[in-house]
Amino acid sequence: MTTKTPSKLEKILASGCLAVTSEVGPPRGGNPKHIEEKGRLIQHHVDAINITDNQTSVTRMCSLAACIRLKLMGLEPVLQMVTRDRNRIALQSDILGAASFDIHNILCLSGDHQSFGDCPTGQNVHDIDSMQLIQTVRRMRDEGKFLGGADIACPPRMFVGAAENPFADPFEIRVPRLAKKIAAGVEFIQTQCIYNLDKFELWVKQARERGLTEKVHILAGVTPLKSVGMARYMKNRVPGMDVPDDVIKRMAAVPKEKQPDEGITICVETIERLKSVEGVHGFHIMAIEWEEKVAEIVERAGLFPRPTVEI
Amino acid sequence: MIVADKKPIEEIIQQVESYHNVLILGCNECVTVCEAGGKKEVGILASALRMYFLNNGKDMRIDEVTLERQCDHEYLEEIRDRIDRYDAVVSLACGVGVQFMAETYLSKPIFPGVNTCFLGVTEKRGLWTERCQACGQCILANTAGICPVSRCAKRILNGPCGGSSKGKCEVNKDLDCAWQLIVDRLKALGRMDDYEKLFSIKDWSTDRAGGPRKVIREDVQI
Amino acid sequence: MPCTGKVDVQHILRAFEKGADGVYAVGCMEGDCHFNSGNFRARKRVEQARKLLNTVGVGGERVEMFNLSSAEGPRFAEYAREMDRRIRDIGPSPIKLAMKKAA
């Protein structure tokens, strides 16, 4: 399988190996140590590390700068970019900035609404949407052109990803929506955290039936639960999250001090089960403020050691 | 119509308290329908202001006039002979009317008496909701007659986003997800295939992004 | 008035502007309006007027809404006495006093 970019993530996926990615949220301050430590913690257990872009609309160190920090350590960042905060000029400009540091992966997102964050009275931009951002990066990369039509002297070489939430409503358009993102040019998908495995498998099955899994690499998103409280919070408070009652019951059935272990075990079991699902090409492990557990999850799920690729 | 909401009376008091002869100027159009700035609201505001200033020992004359519209010269001219009796005007028209008054009567202080909110409909009495942001290039033909620009909190043209839950928007559970409405209507129209058509990047130059807009129709100019 | 549904905030405010010390509206029992919702409308408007009267310093307690059936003469008298007592306790409207002072 040929690859279109120097992305390590793309190469691993192209080789047919299950890929493993994880993510790190930048700090609310200018100290780079936090990012570097988290990167160091997971570097041998994942193929690429997403850097979130002002997630939940809370102002943080910018995703691009944090990606550069990882890059300087020799790691493989995935630049998350939301369309909430930048117009098409800023987005294209940041893509070129990332390219200048050989950042080869991008994840195109619309972003949580600003009302969730620390600047609820701010404006949002939404000049283009996440699908149009996918189109933009592909145009910049494949045609070497800006949206305005001019040639780019040294086009970015980025492996283009997006998120999908198989659990958001309405369910019947979730597969058509994936098809739409593929038509826009997406090459890999990282999904929302999966707790409802049956629903996820149904989504992948429908995608498979339409031949979509041949056209895009789906990385199944998993997040270990730390406690039953977190499970309930995810179920009730996080929009578009599907946490079935039996997961909550299972967490609640163990004593509080054992709940983190149970959460890790559920996460490992989820990966084990989804590994054999045709069309799932890897895992995106979002251990929220729990990066130290990523290694354990990867090892217990039999995804270690990670493959090495020529860059 | 243009939907507006009343400003708190305290704010209006602050605006006019340094004057002595104030005209409360209503508008018979949209703001009458949304019960924010019509003849009745003019009467209530004027009456409340008169009592406030009387009660505070301030000599204040407050008159009431409601014009057919404040967005056309002809109607604004109707008060030209009287305007000099007043040293300030509180316009209960939308922001359009307030500004046209200010342009027409250059040296007269004009204060807004309402907050202009959006272009919308009366869903029922006392409930007005947004339908249009006047982006200047209507896309409703392609979105089953439901506008994602005005009704999606992220104005997503290829929606819904991952925050759509049980038909509601992530921003507020009382808010319909525009894309759920679009999908529902595409289904009702038997046009679900249209959902997969990618919406190309929108030209926002006809929106506010392009600066103040103009419609010029030479065919109707005399 | 044919129905308290005809009462508007303006009517209530004008009465105070002209020097009234208190205003009360007496409508039919809730649920028994001949025009379905007239007395509910009146109640809302009385509440609006109360807010405004508070804001302009006249005092919202000077306005009230009562409900009774048309056969309840004694009750009407009772409400009238109640309102009369309340207004006498509060004293004359500041608007009336200010008008006198200005005159």
Q: Is C98 on the interface with B (CB under 8 A)?
A: yes
| Dihedral sign (CA C7, C9, C11, C16) | positive
Q: Is residue A233 part of a domain?
A: yes
Distances (CA, A) of A216 to A191, A208, B220: 12, 10, 55
What is the dihedral angle through the alpha carbons of A244, A246, A247, A253, rounded to the nearest 10 degrees?
150
pLDDT for B207 beyond 70: yes
**B interface mutation test: which of A80, A109, A129 has the most B CBs within 10 A?**
A129
Q: CA B5 from chain center: how many Å?
A: 8
What is the model's pLDDT at position A239?
78
The sign of the CA dihedral B123, B125, B130, B134 is: positive
pLDDT computed for residue B210 by the predictor? 94
Which class for B122: exposed (0-12), middle (13-18), buried (19 or more C-beta within 10 A)? Answer: middle
Q: Distance between CA atoms of A195 and A206, rounded to whole angstroms?
A: 18
Return the bridge partners of A189, or none. Answer: A162, A218
Instruction: Among A3-7, A92-96, C30-34, name the one with the lowest average pLDDT.
Output: C30-34
Length of chain C: 103
pLDDT value for C1: 86
**Euclidean distance between CA atoms A311 and A309, whole angstroms:** 6
Contact between C52 and B48 using a beta-carbon 8 Å cutoff = yes
Tokens representing C53?
């009267």
Neighbours of A125 (CB within 10 A): 18
DSSP A93: H
pLDDT digits (tens, 9 = 90+) for A52-83: 999 999 999 999 999 999 999 999 999 999 99
Q: Quickly state the pLDDT bin for A311 (edges 50, 70, 90).
A: low
Q: Is B205 on the interface with A (CB under 8 A)?
A: no
Beta-carbon contacts of A274 under 8 Å, excluding residues fewer than 6 positions away, are A194, A197, A200, A201, A220, A280, A283
Res A238: pLDDT: 85
Mean pLDDT of B26-38: 98
pLDDT per residue as tens digits for the range C21-72: 999 999 999 999 999 999 999 999 999 999 999 999 999 999 999 999 989 9
SS3 A82: strand
- Torsion A270-A275-A280-A281 (CA) sign: positive
Total Cβ atoms within 10 A of residue A209:
11
Q: Does residue B196 contact residue A179 with C-beta atoms inside 8 Å? A: yes
CATH number at residue A16: 3.20.20.220
Which pLDDT value is given to residue A230? 96
Tokens encoding A257: 């001090």
How, if at all, do strands B2-6 and B114-124 pair? antiparallel
Cis geometry, peptide bond prior to residue A77 (ω within 30 degrees of 0)? no
Q: For residues A50 and A80, is the Cβ–Cβ distance under 8 A?
A: yes
Map out the domains of chain C as residue ranges: 4-102
What does the CA dihedral A157, A3, A182, A127 come to, rounded to 10 degrees? 0
Distance from CA of A224 to the nearest CA of B (A): 20
Q: Which of residues 22-81 of C touch B (CB under 8 A)?
A: 52-53, 55-58
Chains A and C touch (3+ CB pairs under 8 A): no
Angle, helix B39-55 to helix C94-102, in steps of 10 degrees: 70
Q: Which residues of B touch A172 (CB under 8 A)?
A: 183
Strands B110-112 and B88-91, by their bridges, are parallel
Q: What is the pLDDT of residue A90?
A: 98
Please tell me the distance in Å from C82's CA to the nearest CA on chain B.
26
Residue given tokens 């919202």 in the structure block: C60
Over residues A89-95, mean pLDDT: 98
Q: Which of A235-249, B61-75, B82-96 has the lowest mean pLDDT?
A: A235-249
Two tokens, residue C42 = 């009146």
Helix (H/G/I), strand (E/B), else coil: A225: coil
Query: Which residues, in sequence order, are CB contacts of A300 under 8 Å at separation 6+?
Result: A264, A268
- pLDDT 10s digits, A152-211: 999 999 999 999 999 998 888 999 999 999 999 999 999 999 999 999 999 999 999 999
Q: How many angstroms separate the CA of residue B98 from the nearest CA in chain C?
A: 24
Return all residues near C92 (Cβ < 8 A) that are at least 6 apart: C21
Phi/psi region, residue A286 (left: phi>0; alpha: psi -120 to 50; beta: rest), is beta
Our measurement of the distance from residue A290's CA atom to the centroid of its chain's CA atoms, rounded to an integer in Å, reads 16
Residue of B nearest to A183 (CA): B198
How far apart (Å, rounded) are the C-alpha atoms in residues B90 and B88?
7
Is A225 among the domain residues? yes
Alpha carbon distance B166, B65 (integer Å): 48
Select from 2.170.150.20, 3.40.50.970, 3.40.50.2300, 3.10.20.30 the CATH code of B2-118: 3.40.50.2300
pLDDT at B201: 96
Backbone angles phi, psi at C25, to 5 degrees: -110, 135
- Supply the pLDDT for residue B125: 93
Residues of chain A positioned with their CB less than 8 A from the CB of B154:
83-84, 110-111, 113, 124, 126, 129
Cα(C86)–Cα(A18) distance, rounded to whole angstroms? 81
Residue among B198, B203, B207 with most chain A CBs within 10 A, to mutate: B198
Tokens of A68: 């550069």
d(CA A99, CA A20): 23
Supply angle C-alpha A88, A81, A147, rounded to 5: 25
pLDDT value of residue A309? 84
Q: Do C56 and B10 touch (CB under 8 A)?
A: no
Determine the residue of chain B that is closest to C15 in CA distance: B47
Q: How far apart are CA B163 and CA A239, in angstroms?
A: 5
Split into its structural domains, chain A has a count of 1
Secondary structure of residue A106 in the 3-state scheme:
strand
pLDDT band at A1 (very low <50, low <70, confident <90, very high): low
The values of phi and psi at residue A234, to 5°, are -60, -45
Within its chain, how far is the Cα of A242 from the centroid? Answer: 17
Interface of B with C (CB under 8 A): 9-10, 40, 43-44, 47-52, 54-57, 59
In a domain, A119, yes or no: yes
d(CA A296, CA A215): 31
Q: Is residue A306 part of a domain?
A: no
Element holding A183 (H helix, E strand)? helix A174-184
Chains with 3+ CB–CB pairs under 8 A to A are B
For position A258, what pLDDT does the model report? Answer: 96
Domains of chain B, residue spans? 2-118, 133-202
Identify the closest residue of chain B to A136 by CA–CA distance.
B201
The HSE-up count of residue A60 (CA atoms within 13 Å, CB side) is 21
Residues 6+ away with beta carbon under 8 Å from B124: none
ipTM: 0.93
Q: Considering chain A, what is the average pLDDT of its residues?
A: 96
Residue A183 in any domain: the answer is yes
Contact A128 B154 (CB under 8 A): no
| Rounded distance between C-alpha atoms, residue A57 and residue A117, angstroms | 4
Q: Which helix (H) or strand (E) holds C26?
A: strand C23-27
Q: What token pair was written down for B158?
A: 């290829």
Nearest CA in chain B to A242: B165
Which pLDDT belongs to residue A223?
Answer: 97
Cβ-based contacts of B186 with chain A (< 8 Å): none
Mean pLDDT of A287-297: 95
Q: Does A2 fall in a domain?
A: no
Query: Residue A51: exposed, middle, or buried by beta-carbon count in 10 A (0-12, 13-18, 19+)?
Result: buried
Q: Do C48 and C12 form a contact (C-beta atoms < 8 A)?
A: no
Name the residue among A21, A55, A57, A60 with its Cα closest to residue A39.
Answer: A21
pLDDT higher than 70, residue A99: yes
Domain membership of residue A143 as a residue range: 8-300
CA A294/CA A276 separation, integer angstroms: 21
Contact call for C17 and B47, based on CB within 8 A: yes
pLDDT in tens, A208-265: 999 999 999 999 999 999 999 999 999 998 878 999 999 999 999 999 999 999 999 9
